[in-house]
Amino acid sequence: MKLNLEGALEVLRDSDSICGDVKEDTEKILRVLCGKKLEEEIYYGIGDRFEEKEFGEYILAVTGYNRVLLVSLIRGSRWGNPKEVGNTNRVTKKEFDEMVGDGSFKLIKK
């Protein structure tokens, strides 16, 4: 039996009836079953700091249940609008890229 990892993960992430911890554990199990290394995914978490070439340093912050955004450490302003994510402690690269849009951010401190 061949397991479609991306399809299974998408269904898992879109499910509102499964809590965050169960989603994480299930994702790990799916990756092992499919022979995928867990390290392949890039995740960001609350408090991670980023540098934007033109506007300086930002920190990833929580604004509400499963909602994050980047806040400038220099001006206190935010970058865009809050983004709903699957888990605020494991923001995927895709979720992060959707949140920052055209911004050019580089991770400087986890």
Helix, strand, coil shares, percent, the chain, to 5: 30, 30, 35
Phi and psi at 106, nearest 5°, equal -125, 130
CA gap 63, 14 in Å, rounded: 20
Predicted local distance difference test score (pLDDT) of residue 15 = 67
* 60 and 50 Cβ atoms separated by less than 8 Å: yes
* Structural domain spans, the chain: 5-40, 43-109
- Give the pLDDT score at 6: 65
Please give the residue that has the higher pLDDT: either 104 or 11.
104
Confidence of residue 1 (pLDDT cuts 50, 70, 90): very low
**Where do runs of H (alpha helix) occur along the chain?**
5-14, 20-33, 93-100
Task: Record the tokens describing residue 74, joined without a space.
Answer: 């220099």
State pLDDT tens for residues 42-51. Answer: 889 999 999 9
pLDDT tens per residue, range 27-62: 777 777 666 655 557 889 999 999 998 899 999 999
